[in-house]
Structure formats: structure tokens, C-alpha cells
Amino acid sequence: MTEMLSMSNNAPLFVGMMLLKLAVVFGVTMGIVAYATWVERKVIGHMQTRLGPMRTGWHGLLQPIADGLKLFFKEDIIPTQASKVPFLLAPMMILIPALITIAVVPFGPDVTVKGFLVPLQITDLNIGVLYILAMAGLGVYGIVLAGWSSNSKYALLGGVRASAQMISYELAAGITIIAVFMLSETLSLREIVALQSGSVIDWYVFKQPLAFGLFLITGLAEINRTPFDMPEAESELVSGFCTEYSSMKYALFFMAEYANMIVIAAIAATLFLGGWSGPLPESLGVVNLLGKVFAIMFFFIWLRATLPRVRYDQLMQLGWKVLIPLALANLAVTGLVVVLQQ
């Protein structure tokens, strides 16, 4: 506490450290977003006995850059009957909540810079879990606005589907997370990681395996990933809520999807897999966290290459009749165990 107070007195250093952390986190996140598209195409290609991107750069490594340049210079079309302001704001309203959610994720142990203790985290909120749930709920506004403002039936159906889907699965995700902070007795992600830092056995995935599985499933549905990509079902809705978008606005939707995938993976790693702690030494905490995030993202990509898209009625039935009852049952059992232990 003394170190943090002394840093607050040294305002230029404090502001500089904060700006540096923001720049590093934003740059790394955008870099992962760009090359997650390349990894997904390569992994799915090899799983389906084909090569994936090969032409641009060695084994297609420059493909994300080529895609970005192509989308940047493509013609930007706005439908004449669209509601212009919400049509332009919708892509940013999806991407920004995903990026600001990363602010509460701890990336590693504290480091000392010029005698000051600097946490490897943009901000440590004592209600970090509630902050994540609040930010996760904002993304649906962008999708609904994109579908409504396009003045297209296909886009509107995609937006309506997305809103119903997110409400259904966000309930299950929220109930699942409650079981974790019932064990930790804190809403701070930093403290939750500290409680799991003793050894691998202390990770909450071993105490809450059902909650971990439920969180991964609800996370997939939250970010509209296969097999829950009903809001943009190409065989039914052309491209769903982003049908009328082009150029960089179209690219922002895909950037938001991969940014959300990073966020879900980082939150799952933090809540259930010890965050930056273990299996490597504490000094390599950032490597620990990134390794877990990449493993979960690979699992999401693997599912996309393996599972078909579910029907919409199956999607809603799974959310309301299976996942929510399971999450409530897990919550009740967790509460009983906590009371008995006390």
C-alpha cells in the first residue's frame, strides 16, 4: 500500500506506467486478434486435410496483413434506407466492450520499477467479476443495433437471434461464476488468482469441473462461435446482423469476435486455471497466462472444425432447460459444501 501511495505522489511516473500498460495490452491483443484468423484457417485446414493460407508470406504468415489492407481499401457502402448513426456506431459498440473487459485481467505478478511496485494489470477492481459481467452484456446492443439499423430482414433476424441467445446464455454464465467467488469469497480477479497460486491442485477447475465446462459452453454461445453461430447463419440469413456491412466496418465485427474469444479464454484461465500462476515459475507469469489462453482458443477452433451448427430451437432448449438448471444445481451444491466446511 505504501508503494502505491508513493507512486501516486509521483504522478508522471504513474501516468507513464499506465499508458505503457495500456499500449502493450492493446498492441498484444490486436496482434493476437490478427493472427488468430491465420491460426484458425491453418488449424481447420489441416484438420480437414488441406493446407489453409499459403500464398502470402511463408506458409501464409502475411495473410492477416493482406486481409487488413484489402478490407481497408474496399468500397464502404451504406444502404440508402439504413439509419446512418446507429449503423456506423454498431461495429464499435461490439468491439469496445471486448477490449475494455481485458482491463481487469491480471497478466502476471507485481514487478518493481525504480523502487515502485507495479501490478501487471491495468486496474484491480474489488468488483472485477461484476465488471466483466456488465461489460459482457453491452456487446448485444451493438449486434441488435447493427441488425435493426441495416433495414434488412436478414440482418434484423440475426440481431433478434443474438439478443435472445445472449440473454439465455448470459444467465447460465453468471450463475456459473457465482460458484467461483463463493469459494474465493472475493470478486477481485487478482485475489482469485492468488488463492490458486499454491499449486496446480489449488486451481478451481478441480473444485468446480462442472462450472468450468458450463462456462466454456456459455462463452462459446456468448461470442456466437460454432456450433452456436445462429445470428450469422449463412445458410439461412446470408450473413446475419452484418449482412449490409462492408470494408473496415465489416472487419470490426470479426475483430470483435476474436477479441471476445481472447477475453473468454483469459477469464476462464483466470477463474479456473490459476491465471498467471503455474506451471512455469512465477517470473514467467505472462507466459503461463498466454499459454492457457492459447490452449482454450485452440479448443474453440477445434470445435469449429468438428461440430455442425445446431438448430435454433436446440440452441434455446440447451440454454434454458439444460445449462441453467445445471448451473443452479452446481451453485446449490457449492453453497452446501461451503456451509459444511465452515
User: 322 by DSSP, 3-state: which?
Assistant: helix
Evaluate if residue 1 carries a pLDDT over 50.
no
Among 37-46, 64-73, 242-251, the range of highest mean pLDDT: 37-46
- What band does 330 get if pLDDT is binned at 50, 70 and 90? very high
Of 241, 59, 216, the residue nearest 150 (C-alpha): 241
- Over residues 164-176, the pLDDT tens digits come to 888 888 888 889 9
Interval 263-289: pLDDT, tens: 999 999 999 998 888 788 887 888 999
Q: What pLDDT does 333 receive?
A: 93
Q: What is the pTM of this model?
A: 0.89
pLDDT tens-digit map of 130-151: 888 888 778 778 888 888 888 8
Choose the weakest-confidence range: 16-30, 136-150, 180-194, 322-336.
136-150
Question: Do 47 and 301 meet the contact criterion of CB atoms below 8 Å apart?
Answer: no
pLDDT at 291: 93
Domain residue ranges in the chain: 2-341
Contact (Cβ atoms closer than 8 angstroms) between residue 143 and residue 74: no
pLDDT for residue 230? 74
* pLDDT of 293 strictly over 90: yes
Least confident of 8-17, 77-86, 191-200, 264-273: 8-17
- Euclidean distance between CA atoms 227 and 233, whole angstroms: 10
CA–CA separation, 76 and 71 (whole Å): 9
Q: How confident is the model at residue 235 (pLDDT cuts 50, 70, 90)?
A: low
Which pLDDT does position 238 carry in this prediction? 72
pLDDT at 4: 47
DSSP 159-228: HHHHHHHHHHHHHHHHHHHHHHHHHH----HHHHHHHT-S-GGGSHHHH-HHHHHHHHHHHHHHTT-TTS
Q: What is the pLDDT of residue 6?
A: 46
Region 220-249: what's the mean pLDDT? Answer: 78
Model pLDDT for residues 111-127, shown as the tens digit of each residue = 877 777 778 888 888 88
The answer to whether residue 231 scores a pLDDT higher than 80 is no
Q: Please state the rounded mean pLDDT for residues 295-318.
A: 88
Alpha carbon distance 237, 143 (integer Å): 14
- Mean pLDDT over the full length of the chain: 85
Residue 52 has pLDDT above 90, yes or no: no
pLDDT above 70 coverage of the chain, percent = 95
* Confidence bin at 234 (pLDDT 50/70/90): low
Helical spans, DSSP H, in 48-152: 63-73, 84-101, 128-149
With 50 as the cut, is the pLDDT of residue 189 above it? yes
**What's the pLDDT score for residue 2?**
40
For residue 283, the model assigns a pLDDT of 79
More confident residue, 327 or 279: 327
Mean pLDDT of the 43-52 span: 89
Rounded distance, CA 219 to CA 172, Å? 10
